[in-house]
Amino acid sequence: MQQPVKTRETVLCVDLDGTLIRTDLLFESLLLVLKKRPWLLLMLPWFLLRGRAALKHALARYAVPNPAYLPYREDLVNWCRKQAEAGIPVYLATGSNEVPAQAVADHLGFFSGVIASSAEHNNKGSAKVSAISSTVDEAPFRYIGDSRADLPVWAAAKEAVLAGKGLRYRDKVTAQTPVAEVFGDEPKNRVKTLLKALRVHQWVKNILVFVPLFTAHIYTQTDKLLAALFAFIAFCLASSSVYVLNDLFDLEADRRHKRKRSRPFAAGDLSIPTGLVLVPLLAGGAVAVSFLLPLDFLPVLVLYLVITLAYSVYLKQKALVDVLTLAGLFTMRIFAGTSALTVELSEWLLAFSMFLFLSLAFVKRYAELHNLRIQGGETTPGRGYRVDDDNQLATFGITAGYMAVLVFALYISSPKVAALYTFPRYLWLICPPMFYWISRIWLVAKRGQMHEDPIIYAFKDKASYAVGVVVIAMVLAAT
């Protein structure tokens, strides 16, 4: 606990969670523990039985979020810094544990002291009032807070400052304490923010479940179309649950990234508890939809969720293993389509998909390294690559892409093609556009013009649509 400081001037006390930062250090620490030491989950009930203070202390022993990459409320930070520069004592008065709170104070560098929770005392509500009073030796203070738990502190303060969600308590606060300043957030469309967190634009990848519908030539059967639609919905829910989980586990890496720092969880636009609720809700919805499909579909969906969980927690940190996993997850969508439609899985389609998606996975990593090189970085945060790996990744990726075209060419000569197509020779005309498309994707990546997700880039690229039209025309001509 901070030692009492004798002063009669008005001091400034600032809350941390939800006020100075747009997140909560308790949940930030919890996520770090879940990611790095998941077995400690078994100990959480024991810590919680000993009280909230003991839980915060236990989490702080194993994981302290990096204060340099927390989503600060910059306008409030700058205002507090100016108060400190004007000679006003500024204290960080928070319910967070003293270890991460002190780390934040040290990082910002303008606090006179830290008033925080210890292993025995939870510094919240009336307990915070007592802690502040004893620390500043009964001096008058202004308090900056954001939640209902801050009402007793505002009541004891000489003046109140409201931040973030604290604005909803303005009438209650004004009735007992003058409000000196207000630091509100810019209003955001919560539905739009939620959809952004679910990455709805990434659902286009799940169109792959429809591929077996067309390769098996059963797209005119209504029941098969409906089954493919249910499979698509299930994978959209499942993939969104994974995206949310991945964003929760990748908070620090995303905050260090120029573009990803604006993601809802990284920026603090959505709370971590919201994400922790969304993950099982979305995954459960995906499983529920799978009961409308043949029994073979559910194991594929569950395997997809398990592998994506392993990818989010561990595999994406391993060079080459990550791209192989990504390629496998794309191919699993096609495999899921065959399970939903109860059609035979073509080994040719499986091989073609693996090589094609492996190439695109390498494009994704190459684009990330290229952008990192421009920013002056050397290693990818949370990944196993260095910027000087880019040329090697390009070699791997281009080779995999051309292998996909080779597999397709060999497929045209197989007996299966003769059974499915009347004029299979027209399929040869698909090979040049495929060579062009893969070469162009890599040329764009080499020029630094590639979106870090090549699938999303392709859906916005006119040349990709032109190639798609040619491919569809040749397939129809061959049928």
The better pLDDT of the pair 35, 87 is held by 87
Average pLDDT value for residue range 18-25? 96
Mark whether 218 and 74 lie in a shared domain. Answer: no
What is the rounded average pLDDT for all residues in the chain?
A: 91
394: domain CATH number is 1.10.357.140
Which pTM does this prediction carry? 0.87
The predicted pLDDT at position 208 comes to 93
Q: Which of 183, 207, 228 is the last residue of a domain?
A: 183
The predicted pLDDT at position 131 comes to 95
Mark whether 165 and 203 lie in a shared domain. Answer: no
Average pLDDT value for residue range 253-281? 93
Is residue 250 in some structural domain?
A: yes
Give the pLDDT band (50/70/90) at residue 418.
confident
Give the pLDDT band (50/70/90) at residue 387.
confident
Q: Which residues of 237-260 are buried (b: 16+ CB within 10 A; e: fewer)?
A: bbbbbbbbbbbbbbbbbbbbbeeb
The predicted pLDDT at position 24 comes to 96
Mark whether 208 and 346 lie in a shared domain. Answer: yes
In sequence order, what are the residues at sequence separation of 6 or more whose Cβ sits closer than 8 angstroms to the Cβ of residue 175?
none
Q: pLDDT tens-digit profile of 192-219?
A: 999 999 999 899 999 999 999 988 889 8
CA distance 139 to 16: 21
Mark whether 469 and 351 lie in a shared domain. Answer: yes
The predicted pLDDT at position 253 comes to 87
Instruction: Give the domain extent around 412.
Output: 190-478
Give the pLDDT band (50/70/90) at residue 16.
very high
Q: pLDDT tens-digit profile of 303-339?
A: 999 999 899 888 888 999 999 999 999 999 999 999 9
The better pLDDT of the pair 383, 476 is held by 476
The total number of structural domains that make up the chain: 2
144: domain CATH number is 3.40.50.1000
The predicted pLDDT at position 207 comes to 94
Is pLDDT above 80 for 79? yes
In sequence order, what are the residues at sequence separation of 6 or more whose Cβ sits closer than 8 angstroms to the Cβ of residue 353?
330, 331, 334
Is residue 390 in some structural domain?
A: yes
CA distances from 169 to 19, 117, 145, 164, 224 (A): 14, 24, 10, 11, 54
Is pLDDT above 80 for 2? no
Is residue 4 in some structural domain?
A: no
Mark whether 305 and 454 lie in a shared domain. Answer: yes
Give the pLDDT band (50/70/90) at residue 382.
low
Strand partners, 13: 91, 143
Mark whether 46 and 70 lie in a shared domain. Answer: yes
Mark whether 310 and 178 lie in a shared domain. Answer: no
Average pLDDT value for residue range 112-134? 94
Mark whether 238 and 256 lie in a shared domain. Answer: yes
Give the pLDDT band (50/70/90) at residue 39.
confident
Strand partners, 344: none
Which residue type sits at 356? L
Give the pLDDT band (50/70/90) at residue 56.
very high
Mark whether 255 and 324 lie in a shared domain. Answer: yes
Q: pLDDT tens-digit profile of 177-191?
A: 999 999 988 778 889
Is pLDDT above 70 for 114? yes
Mark whether 126 and 80 lie in a shared domain. Answer: yes
Report the percentage of the chain scoring pLDDT > 90: 71
Is residue 6 in some structural domain?
A: no
Is pLDDT above 70 for 63? yes
The beta strands (E) that lie in 77-215 are given as 90-97, 113-117, 141-145, 159-163, 179-183
Is pLDDT above 60 for 420? yes
228 contacts 337 by C-beta, under 8 angstroms: yes
Is residue 1 in some structural domain?
A: no
Highest mean pLDDT among 73-77, 312-316, 385-389: 73-77
- What tokens were used for 274? 């919201």
Is residue 3 in some structural domain?
A: no
Is residue 5 in some structural domain?
A: no
Is pLDDT above 90 for 9? no
Is pLDDT above 50 for 1? no
Mark whether 226 and 367 lie in a shared domain. Answer: yes
Q: Which of 154, 183, 212 is the last residue of a domain?
A: 183
Q: Mean pLDDT check: name the lowest of 145-154, 162-171, 367-376.
A: 367-376
CA distances from 185 to 82, 93, 170, 261, 454 (A): 20, 21, 14, 17, 34
Strand partners, 151: none
Q: Which of 117, 148, 183 is the last residue of a domain?
A: 183
Is residue 2 in some structural domain?
A: no
Pairing of strands 179-183, 113-117: unpaired
Please provide the distance, in angstroms rounded to a whole number, between the alpha carbons at the two ends of the chain: 78
Mark whether 200 and 343 lie in a shared domain. Answer: yes
